[in-house]
Amino acid sequence: MKQIDANPYTPGAGHSPPYLAGRHEEVAAFREHLNQDLILKNVILTGLRGTGKTVLMDDKYKVAAQEAGWIWVGSDFAESSFLSETNLCVRLLTDLAVFTSSLSIGKPDGTLGFDTKQNRQQSLSYDFLSTYFAAQPGLMVDKLRATLEFVWEVARERGTQGIVFAYDEAQVVRDREDKDQYPLAILLETFQSMQRRKAKYLLLLTGLPTLFPKLVESRTYAERMFTVQEIGRLSPDAAREAIEMPLRERPWKFTPEGVSRIMEASDGYPYFIQFICRETYDHLVANPRDLSIPLDAIIRKLDSDFFSGRWESVTDRQRDLLFCAAKLEHADEEFSISEIVEISKQLEVKPFGPGDVSQILPRLIEKGLVYKNRLGKYCFAVPMFSGFIRRRFMSSEQQLRLFE
């Protein structure tokens, strides 16, 4: 029996594609940040879900940093990291200890009565960092600053070029004024202080477009601390490469028409390219004589796998508002409260007033479906979500007509 090659396409949260197309300008810009003698700018990598932020950070930025002699530490930021200032410090020290455990410093061997001129080595493990941190005077920010300064001196003496703290899903960062806890402020203050003291710590945060406004809200100087790299659709050439390159050593190739249809259906978003291509490849393996692309069926599966879970989390009234936004001509760009109010009067939904929209939008922002792009302007936080909403309402209308 002929062995079937594994499907080369890999849709998934943070899964590396077989060929990472495009993003050359972003990688080059990140390399420039690694060349700073004095760290003046940190990096925010932002974009909608499905644009490939995590893959770009893990597969390209991490490699670039390591090739330049930098140490890479970090993980995902969870909301638990920002429940308190202590939690944030524990998170940072835990991640840093993965690197520092390989470092050591000398300490006296404790022999009584004789000077042996010998030192024992003390590893900079998490326990060591935690003990050192607790022994420092002052507030949490003072303790964290002193610990990071100590670590940098040891690392620099060992030839380290710099240390990147890289955190994914960083849109969860926030202060908790109601609890008198300011972990985000401590994060920003500590890194700014370290960089002023010429310690080469670079902060790389990856997240949804809501991330940067949160940083600026906590500390206004954050606007000057970061360069924002916003990624979205792939260019047509890069999208074509993402479709074609994984098949370069396979017996099947997409026709030019097939490539065009996939580019159009995916709108150039990396996740959707991977999803559609994977489903197409599976269909071809199961039906080797059917060389067509079952695009309608694939889009229905995409609706079920990617969009439906988000849709099920909203109320009927919230769905009506999302439908109104999706029916705007520029739904995939920006929309305003007044535009939703006006179009609601033309659709078969209960019309919205400005107050209604103002109350519902923050709930949709909390659910990660919408974000505030700038003053008075909102955007969908999920790519191609407007198309899904229109299909969903169209399907519902057709079902209703069948029973009339």
Cα 146 from Cα 127, distance rounded (Å) = 16
Structure tokens at 377: 């302007």
Q: Where are the alpha helices (DSSP H) in 219-269?
A: 222-225, 236-244, 256-266
CA–CA separation, 48 and 231 (whole Å): 8
Q: pLDDT grade, residue 95 (50/70/90)? A: very high
- The answer to whether the Cα torsion of 189, 190, 191, 194 is positive or negative is positive
Give residue 381's Cα distance to chain centre.
12
Query: CA-to-CA distance for 278 and 141, rounded, in angstroms?
Result: 48
For 161-206, how does the pLDDT look when each residue is reduced to its tens digit (9 = 90+)?
Answer: 999 999 998 988 889 998 899 999 999 999 999 999 999 999 999 9
Confidence of residue 105 (pLDDT cuts 50, 70, 90): confident
Cα dist from 338 to 99, 232, 353, 381, 400, whole Å = 52, 27, 9, 19, 30
- Please report which helix (H) or strand (E) contains residue 372, including its range: strand 370-374
* CATH 1.10.10.10-classified regions of the chain: 310-402
pLDDT band with cut points at 50, 70 and 90 for residue 14: low
Delimiting residues of CATH 3.40.50.300 domain(s) in the chain: 24-230
Give the model's pLDDT for residue 403. Answer: 31
Rg (CA), the chain: 26
Q: What is the pLDDT of residue 395?
A: 58
Q: Give tens-digit pLDDT for 106-160.
A: 765 554 444 444 457 889 999 999 999 999 999 999 999 999 999 999 999 999 9
* Residue range 249-253: mean pLDDT, rounded: 81
| pLDDT tens, position by position, 331-347 | 988 999 999 999 999 99
Tokens of 46: 């932002």
Cβ distance 280 to 250 under 8 Å? Answer: no
Check: pTM over 0.95? Answer yes or no: no
Domain 24-230 carries which CATH code?
3.40.50.300
Report the candidate in 271, 291, 281 with the shortest Cα–Cα distance to residue 54: 271
pLDDT at 118: 47
Cβ–Cβ under 8 Å, residues 272 and 347: no
- Find the angle CA(146)-CA(148)-CA(153) to the nearest 5 degrees: 95
**What confidence score (pLDDT) does residue 345 get?**
94
DSSP 21-58: -S-HHHHHHHHHHHT-SS---EEEEE--TTS-HHHHII
Residue 361 has pLDDT above 70, yes or no: yes
The single-letter code of the amino acid at 22 is: G
Gap between the Cα atoms of 192 and 91, Å rounded: 18
Better-scored residue on pLDDT, 16 or 338: 338
Structure tokens at 104: 């050591």
Residue type, 49: R
Percent of the chain with pLDDT over 70: 92
**Whole-number average pLDDT of the chain:** 88
Instruction: Report the C-alpha gap between 96 and 309 in whole angstroms.
Output: 35
Phi then psi for 112, rounded to 5 degrees?
-90, 130
Q: In sequence order, which residues have a C-beta less than 8 Å from that of residue 21 and are 6 or more positions away? A: 234, 238, 239, 241, 242, 245, 270
Contact between 50 and 270 under an 8 Å Cβ cutoff? The reply is yes
Q: Using 50, 70 and 90 to split pLDDT, how confident is the model at 6?
A: confident
> Confidence class of residue 401 from pLDDT cuts 50, 70 and 90?
very low
Hey, is 142 helix, strand or coil?
helix
Pairing of strands 370-374, 377-380: antiparallel
> How far, in Å, CA of 153 to CA of 168, rounded?
27
Contact 251, 2 (CB under 8 A): no
pLDDT of the residue at 116: 43
Q: Where are the beta strands (DSSP E) in 201-291?
A: 201-207, 226-230
pLDDT of residue 248: 86
pLDDT greater at residue 74 or residue 165: 165
Residues 6+ apart with CB under 8 A from 365: 210, 371, 372, 381
CB 11 within 8 A of CB 275: yes
Answer yes or no: CATH 1.10.3720.10 is held by domain 310-402: no
Question: What is the mean pLDDT of the segment spanning 209-216?
Answer: 90
Higher pLDDT, 4 or 287: 287
